[in-house]
Every structure is written in C-alpha cells, then in structure tokens.
Structure 1
Amino acid sequence: MNKIKDVQFTETVLRDAHQSLMATRLKTEEMLPILEKMDKVGYHAIECWGGATFDASIRFLNEDPWERLREIKKRMKHTPLQMLLRGQNLLGYRHYADDIVDKFIEKSIENGIDIIRVFDALNDSRNMEACVKAVKKYGGHVQLTICYTISPIHTIDYYKKLTKRLDELGADSICIKDMAGILTPFVVKKLIPAIKEVTSLPIEVHTHATSGISEMTYLTAVQVGADIIDTAISPFSGGTSQPATESLSIVLTELGYETHLKKDILEEIADYFKPIKDHYLKEMILDPKMMTVDPKALIYQVPGGMLSNLYSQLKQANAQERYEEVLREVPKVREDLGFPPLVTPMSQMIGTQAVFNVLSGERYKMIPNEIKDYVRGLYGTPPAPINESIRKIIIGNDEVITGRPADLLEPEFEKQKKEIKAIAKTDEDILIYAMFPQLGETFLKEKYQSKKIINKEVIRINAVM
C-alpha cells in the first residue's frame, strides 16, 4: 500500500495576499477577530509579517508593526508564524549593518516569529549570511530562498548550484519564490527533482496567480516532490495574489494527498474575509485590475505587487495609458542591468527606471540613486554583467565594489539609538527609526504624543468621577 504523501499549506492572507492585491492595506483590527479560528485549521504556517507590512503599517495605517505581531501571537497558540525578510536589507530598502540585522532578528523572534524566510534580490548568498547566523542564534527556523526568474543565465544548473550554497549556508528549508507567477509546470517538473539531488531539506513553493498557471504549477510541484505550497484564502486569492487555499486543498485531497486542513473552518474564514474584500473594492483600494489574469506576465516577467505599483505610479503622473509601454520597457532595463530577479527592492528600482525611461522620452536620462548604487555593487553581485555602455551612462568611471556590501558598513545600532533616544522607549522603536528614519521619527512622536493625550483624558475623567 502506498504511503499517503503529506502536502503542507502556508496561508498568506495576512501578508502577501493583501500586499499583492491592495498594497498592504489590511488593518490589524481586521485580522484579529479571525485569528483563533485560523489557528485551528492545520496550516503549516501563517505568513503574517515582513515584506511590505512593516512599511505600510507606519506609513499608511498609523499602526505599530511590532504591536501587530504581538497581538497576532497572542491569538496563535499552535500555528507557527512566518515572516519575509529581504536579507541584509531587512524590511527597508538599503543594506543595514550586521548589528542591526542581529537585533532585528532577535526582536522578531522574541515578539512571535517562528519561521523567517530570507531572500536576496540578486540571489547573492553573501547577503543572507548575517541573517542565517542571527536566526540560528535566537532559535528560529531559517528558510532560505531561491528567487526564481528567467534569463539566459538562470538555468536549472544555476538553481541547483544556488540550492547547494544555501544548504551549506545553514538553511532549515528551501523556498522557490516565484514572484511573478512565471514558473511553469514544464520547468517545475525539472527544477524540483534537480534541487532534490543536492539537498534533503523540505522544499516550499511560492507562486502568484498573475499569469493564470499557478494551480497547474502547484499540482505539478506536489507531484514531483514539493513539501509545502503557499496559498491564500479565497476572497483574497487569485489575480496578483496566490491561488485559493480551499480549492487546492479539495483537489489535492481527492488525488490522495493529506493536506491536514479542516475544510469547515476554511469556509468560516472565507466568509469572514468576504465583506472585508467587498469594503476595499468599494473604497477602490482593491483595484479590480489586480484581480484579473494577465498572461503577459509570462512575457514581461513582472510580479503582481510590481504591476500594482507601476500602475499606481503612472496614475499619479496621469499617464495610465502608457502602462503597456512601461511593461515592455521593464525587460529591456532588466537585461541592461544584468538580469536581476524582479523582487523587492530590485522590482521597485527596475520599475521606476522603466517609468523614467518612458515618461522622459529618453532612456537613462533620469536615474534614481538606488540604481546608481546597484551598478556600483552596493547591493551585491548582479547575476550577469551589466551592459558596459549603460554602466558608463549611469556611474561613469566610478569604482565597482566586488566584496560583501555589508562589510563596508560600520555598526550602527548604538548610533541610531543615540539619535532617537529622546523619543524611542524600546529597541523595537529604535528599529522602526533605523528602517525608516524620517517616517519612523514622525510615527514615534505621534505614537507617544497620542498616548499622553489619552492618559491625560483618563486622569481628567477619573478626577470628575
């Protein structure tokens, strides 16, 4: 008798699903009432933090991301909590010194994170080293990531060698992260067996429904040995998000796999999120355009979150009609710059450069500082050499560094602590400031000022009573 194969599910609704569909606008108060039910489903993990949630919480929602994590953990007694971390970039958009990386991971685990999925936008494993060391130090599970992309150099052999490096670096599991929904069944059928030749670690597959092939990719991935898949509860599934949790659970169960998911509770969770989705549709925060399948993703290789950001940039510039033109420019810029995978922060950087190239009417007339730093080697080594003529346009004869970028950085936690000591009350506050100095300082001032106002009001009321 054949042994029933387990397929584990990681639920993304609290992080990547709403990040991909509506720029990470789900509020903590909308999450909390359903968490205890989610904890009973039988998920392998719930991805609830990291990625853009930290930034969006303080920038748009006036919420403390650390407080969100603590509140989620209070209600999640059984299911591991997972976060997405951008390697040496943490949750910001630059490389941070190793002491900041260590402190951030210490506090993430202390406040409730169990699994930290670490990726580097260039698949440069040197930019994951400090993260691995810290996660091991503080007792977490470190999942190292292959950012999947397509180019002449991103071959099966390339991914096989990368997997071997990540295994040797100390990964507890490996994630194949397909940001753009371009991992086809044909490729995954070759990729996973090849990876399993060089590692015995659990393999998780993450994709998006953007191009319309995600369910087929997951089914094939499971058939050839994937252990875990990432899905989103149905109201926040599809389009630029992940495929639906319930649908895949039903199909895989019928095929003889054990998913460990309680389908009756999944229905209750879906019913809870339906009116929340309707609210955001009505408020036009969730753009219906992001809910539709776009096979052009297979051509342009643009991730869902990047699609929504590009559209938003063009909308602000009153140039929505140039959306397709920008999409065509993205792969050209990517080729010029050494075929970096389109994942944060590279997706934003490449996307912004493509927008500038189209709107200015001249390629590389306007160049963001981040692109200049990337070309100088400050983000790591590009997968392929940068076009020499483009390099000269961007940085002239400036030196290009070849070492680990973080080796150039002095320890900075104590410096950040001194700068914000008049406002910050905890290490978590200091880390908010370290990630986003101006935004963080404003947020912390408002956070503690509003608490003073509330406390004075409570004193006044008590005095009257």
Structure 2
Amino acid sequence: MAAIRLVETSLRDGNQCLWGALGVDTARTLSIAPVMERVGYAAIDFTTSTHMGVAVRYKQQDPWERIRLMAAACQTTPLQFLSTGFRFISWETASPEFMALAFATLTRNGIRRFALADPTNDAVANAAAARLVKQGGGEQVIGALVFTLSPIHDDAHYADAARTMAACPDIDALYIKDPGGLLTPERARTLIPAILAEIGGKPLELHAHNTIGLGDRTYLAGAALGVAALQCASGGAADGTSNPPIERTVRNLREQGHKVDVDDDALAQVGRYFADLAAADGLPTGAPMAYDAGYVRHQLPGGMVGTMRRHLADHRVPHLEGAVIEELGRVREELGWPIVMTPFAQMLQTQAVMNVTGAERYATIPDEIVRYALGRFGRPNRPIAAYVMDRILSSPRARELQSEPEMAPLADLRRRVGAQLSDEEFLLRATMPGAMVDAVQAAGPAPRDYDPAVRPVMALVEQLLARTDLTRVTVEKPGFRLELETDA
C-alpha cells in the first residue's frame, strides 16, 4: 500500500461549502496557523480570488495581508490558490497580461501552489495559465480535471484532457476535482486508471465532496488505485456538502494498510479548533449525508438547492421545484453540457427558474447566459442547440453585449485606476468598487488573535452592555472573573 498525502481544505473549500465563504477571517486563520504548519500537509487549500473579494467586501480586511501573514506562519507547508479560468475577483474574462500580474503578485505575497480549474475543462487554457504561473515564480501547479456526469463527460474526455495537461512542462501534478460529490467508487475504478495511463510519472490527487455520501468510499478506492494525495477538511468545516473529514479519512486509510505520515496530535487539534469555531460563532457544521439518487439529475451544490427553494417560496410557487429540476437538465443539455460549478451552476439554475415561471421558455435570458453563448466564459463542451443560440443572438441585449469592450490593455488600465498604486492595491481597485477598498484601508490592520473559547463570554458581555437597567454585572467561570459597574 502506498503512502498517501493530505491537502487541508477547511480555510477555503470547507469555509465556502458550509459557511458561504464568510466563516473565516484573518484572526480565525492566523490563530490556527502554527498548528496547521506542524501537521505535515502536502498543502493548505487557502484561498481564491473570490475569497479575496469576500475579505474586502464583507470583512473590510486586506486579503494580501492575510496571505502574507499565513505564509510567514506556514513556511514549510505550501499555500494553495485556486484559479477558475482566466478571471481574478471579477467574472469578467481577464487578459493574459492581467492574469500574469495577478499570479506574480500572489506568488510574491506567499502563494506557492496554484490549482487551475477551468470551468469547461479546457486543458489548453489550463496549460496557458500554468505557463503564466511559472513565469511569475509559482513553485507548483496542479491542473484540475473537473468531474461531472453527462453523456459527453466519459473516461475518454478526461483521459484526453489529462494527456494535454501532462504534456505541459509547467503543470507538476493533476487532480480530479469533483465539486458535486458525484464520483462513485465504481466509476473511480475506470476513470483513475484511464487518467494515470496518460500522465506518466506526474502525481494524481483527488478532491471530492460528501454531498450524497460518496466521498469516503471514493477516497479509499482512489488510494487503492494509485492516487497520491486526498483533499480533506477538518472538524466543523468537514462533511455534508464539504469534503470528507480528515481524521476519519486517515483512520480509514490506515485501516486499509496505507501510510499517512502526519502529526496526529496536531491533526486532532486542528479538528477541535474548527469544531469549536463553528460552535462559538453559530455556524452550521457538516454531517454524514445519505445517498440521494435525485441529486444526480440536477447536481446543484447544496447551498444552491436551498436558494432555489427560497426563491420559489418567495414567489409562492414551491410546488414547481420538480419542474425546475427537470428544466435544469434540459437547459444544461441545450447549452452544451456545462459542468454544474461556479459560474455555470448559478446560470443554469436562474435560466431554469425563468423558463418554468415565465410565459415561455427563454422568454427572458440573463446577461450571463448571453455572455456564455458569446464565448466570454470559454468554449462550451458542445455547441449550443441551434434554436437556443438563435433565440439568444436575436435578442437586442445580445447585440449590446457583443459590443462590450474587452478588458483594456494593462498599461491603460493602470493609468485609469492609478499608475502610482502598488500591484496589490491596483488588482483590488481594478476588479472591485473603490469605496470597498477605501473601507479596508480605513479599517487598518486586521485583528490577529481569536479564541473560540472566549467567544461566548464576549457575546454575553456585549448583550449585558446593551441593557440600560443594570448598574453592576459580574461574569464568572472557572479561572475567569469579570466585574463591570457604572459610574452612577
């Protein structure tokens, strides 16, 4: 049995799947960083440009500062940045020179490993991005094979993409990225050998979710078939729609005879931290999921199913859920079988709801569907159905969007945004409202310390201070006493 390495995903994917990317800030990251460094992970799945935007928009924190501080705390464990196509923060397609600047700036601030996941599985585009990463100083590039179920996403599809990426000298490893948790052990037993046969000596990793309870068993199958690393989350950030729990995965691997060389005490401490964080902050935690055959029909991420139900309930048509799911499958086929991942998951869901609730199908077409048809999100896996393409292109809005200018040359963009800005500030201001970046600068350095054990006490103190009918308060627990008294 082979030695299996681990990639820790709590700060990025676990946080995104269970907490809407809002559960972790700079203090909550840095407080566990020294322990994560001791574990012995192959890498820490740390951030994306979307998460960087969340830091600015919702936390008023500098994402570059967070990267630098985490990199300083994890000097032997590479931090991973996930890039989904040629984009940075904005969903606007970025120019190669803009992406080159983004990759180089990320590297300079402490990102050492880049995962490249093109939402259309465009292996050529991944190879082009990998070249930019390496030119910018990135140490490791791992190319994604994004898994989905459709008539065209067979083993040959993935083998072809794997062959193209493996031939690229700038891609160091590949990974099967299963955002929907759809890969079964049975399919893994044909898919993984087909990919390994094409990639020579380059390592293959596996990233799956437990959305319908398949992840644990698929990970064991992958390990037996030659996968070099598994991507897992910890404690309260694991399971459910997130990734398989790391401690359970390690126990299962060792039970099967695999070697997993990690610091078990540090691993357990990381798990307790994310469990305590979720409890202290009132965040939902993942739980083992039952198999749901109906999920295969729509493949929507767990959070989006809830969004769809709320939308239908708000419009007083909750009984149309089944019709929307059926329509989503039709729309996906008509649009060339896009993978149900961001941004396509949101686009498919929106169009399906509009088709079901509108006067006729495609009576209303969202701008993002039009942009997709115009090729702004890459090449569709299959040509869009002719009657749908005609409907899209004949709309006045399509003609307007066709004339949208592409991203300005980098030099022009710098002059417009601010020639004197640092690369870090320029990248934020070029992709986000300036007022949000101003708010980050006004807020100053982010707090760096967080202790989930203190959180309930602080919440109680805040509630008591909000009351006007108290003159004296004593808060006491073992090892802690606090007395507050008004001047009156």
Q: Secondary structure at the match of 1:84?
A: strand
Q: Secondary structure at the match of 1:435?
A: coil
Contact 1:330 1:354 in 2 (8 A): yes
Which consecutive residues of structure 1, in runs of 5 or more, have no partner in the other structure?
453-465
| Offset, 1:363 | 2.4
Mark the CA change 1:44 to 1:316 in structure 2 (over 3 Å): closer, same or farther. Answer: farther
Q: Secondary structure at the match of 2:219?
A: helix
Contact 2:417 2:430 in 1 (8 A): no
What amino acid sits opposite 1:196 in the alignment? Answer: L
Name the residue aligned to 1:67. 65
What amino acid sits opposite 1:195 in the alignment? Answer: I
| Offset, 1:344 | 1.8
- Is 1:413 aligned to 2:410, yes or no? yes
Mark the CA change 1:386 to 1:224 in structure 2 (over 3 Å): closer, same or farther. Answer: same
How many Å separate the matches in 1 of 2:29 and 2:259?
A: 27
- Is 1:172 aligned to 2:168, yes or no? no
Q: Secondary structure at the match of 2:28?
A: helix
Name the residue aligned to 1:434. 430
What amino acid sits opposite 2:149 in the alignment? Answer: I
What amino acid sits opposite 1:190 in the alignment? Answer: T
Q: How big is each residue's C-alpha offset from its partner over 1:257-290, in whole Å with a ceiling of 9 and x where there is no partner?
A: 111122221221122122221244x3xx6388x9
What amino acid sits opposite 1:349 in the alignment? Answer: M
Q: Secondary structure at the match of 2:94?
A: coil
Structure 1 residues 343-352 or 98-107, which shifts more?
Answer: 343-352
Q: Secondary structure at the match of 1:243?
A: coil
How many Å separate the matches in 1 of 2:389 and 2:331?
A: 12
Contact 1:88 1:130 in 2 (8 A): no
Name the residue aligned to 2:189. 189
Contact 2:116 2:144 in 1 (8 A): yes
- Is 1:133 aligned to 2:131, yes or no? yes
Contact 1:142 1:173 in 2 (8 A): yes
| Offset, 1:297 | 2.5
How many Å separate the matches in 1 of 2:57 and 2:156?
A: 41
- Is 1:105 aligned to 2:98, yes or no? no
Name the residue aligned to 1:21. 18
Name the residue aligned to 1:381. 379
Mark the CA change 1:228 to 1:409 in structure 2 (over 3 Å): closer, same or farther. Answer: same
Contact 1:297 1:303 in 2 (8 A): no
Name the residue aligned to 1:229. 230
What amino acid sits opposite 2:356 in the alignment? Answer: V
Q: How big is each residue's C-alpha offset from its partner over 1:128-175, in whole Å with a ceiling of 9 and x where there is no partner?
A: 244211111133211111111111111111111111111123321101
How high is the TM-score relative to the length of structure 2? 0.82
Structure 1 residues 11-20 or 254-263, which shifts more?
Answer: 254-263
- Is 1:35 aligned to 2:33, yes or no? yes
How many Å separate the matches in 2 of 1:307 and 1:315?
A: 12
Q: Secondary structure at the match of 1:14?
A: helix
| Offset, 1:323 | 4.9
What amino acid sits opposite 1:326 in the alignment? Answer: V
Q: How big is each residue's C-alpha offset from its partner over 1:68-127, in whole Å with a ceiling of 9 and x where there is no partner?
A: 111211211211111110121234312101111000000111111111000111112343
| Offset, 1:447 | 2.6
Q: Secondary structure at the match of 1:145?
A: strand
Contact 2:331 2:352 in 1 (8 A): yes
Name the residue aligned to 2:256. 255
Q: Secondary structure at the match of 1:117?
A: strand
Name the residue aligned to 2:44. 46
| Offset, 1:316 | 6.9
Structure 1 residues 342-351 or 224-233, which shifts more?
Answer: 342-351
Contact 1:50 1:84 in 2 (8 A): yes
Q: How big is each residue's C-alpha offset from its partner over 1:3-31, in whole Å with a ceiling of 9 and x where there is no partner?
A: x5111110100000010112101222112
Q: Secondary structure at the match of 2:115?
A: strand
Q: Secondary structure at the match of 2:427?
A: helix
Name the residue aligned to 2:470. none
Q: Secondary structure at the match of 2:106?
A: helix
Mark the CA change 1:450 to 1:24 in structure 2 (over 3 Å): closer, same or farther. Answer: closer
How many Å separate the matches in 2 of 1:68 and 1:314?
A: 38
| Offset, 1:320 | 6.2
How many Å separate the matches in 1 of 2:216 and 2:254?
A: 14
Name the residue aligned to 1:458. none
Which consecutive residues of structure 2, in runs of 5 or more, have no partner in the other structure?
446-488
Structure 1 residues 410-419 or 262-271, which shifts more?
Answer: 410-419
CA RMSD of aligned residues (A): 2.6
Name the residue aligned to 1:445. 438
Contact 2:120 2:339 in 1 (8 A): yes
How many Å separate the matches in 2 of 1:120 and 1:161?
A: 15
How many Å separate the matches in 1 of 2:206 and 2:339?
A: 16
How many Å separate the matches in 2 of 1:191 and 1:434?
A: 41
Please identify which structure carries the higher helix content. Answer: 1
What amino acid sits opposite 1:143 in the alignment? Answer: I
| Offset, 1:349 | 1.7
What amino acid sits opposite 1:446 in the alignment? Answer: A
Q: Secondary structure at the match of 2:86?
A: helix
Give 1:395-406 correspondences, 5 Å limit: 395-396=393-394
Larger radius of gyration: 2
What amino acid sits opposite 1:62 in the alignment? Answer: Q
Give 1:251-290 correspondences, 5 Å limit: 251-280=252-281, 282=282, 286=284
How many Å separate the matches in 2 of 1:247 and 1:384?
A: 39
Name the residue aligned to 2:452. none
Name the residue aligned to 2:219. 218
How many Å separate the matches in 1 of 2:369 and 2:149?
A: 21
How many Å separate the matches in 1 of 2:288 and 2:322?
A: 17
How many Å separate the matches in 1 of 2:309 and 2:264?
A: 36
What amino acid sits opposite 1:197 in the alignment? Answer: A
| Offset, 1:319 | 6.5
Contact 2:336 2:380 in 1 (8 A): yes
Mark the CA change 1:320 to 1:52 in structure 2 (over 3 Å): closer, same or farther. Answer: farther
Please list every run of at least 4 consecutive aligned residues from structure 1 whose deviation after the TM superposition is greater than 6 angstroms.
315-321
Name the residue aligned to 2:152. 153
Name the residue aligned to 2:459. none
How high is the TM-score relative to the length of structure 1? 0.86
How many Å separate the matches in 2 of 1:35 and 1:319?
A: 46
Mark the CA change 1:147 to 1:306 in structure 2 (over 3 Å): closer, same or farther. Answer: farther
How many Å separate the matches in 2 of 1:73 and 1:305?
A: 30
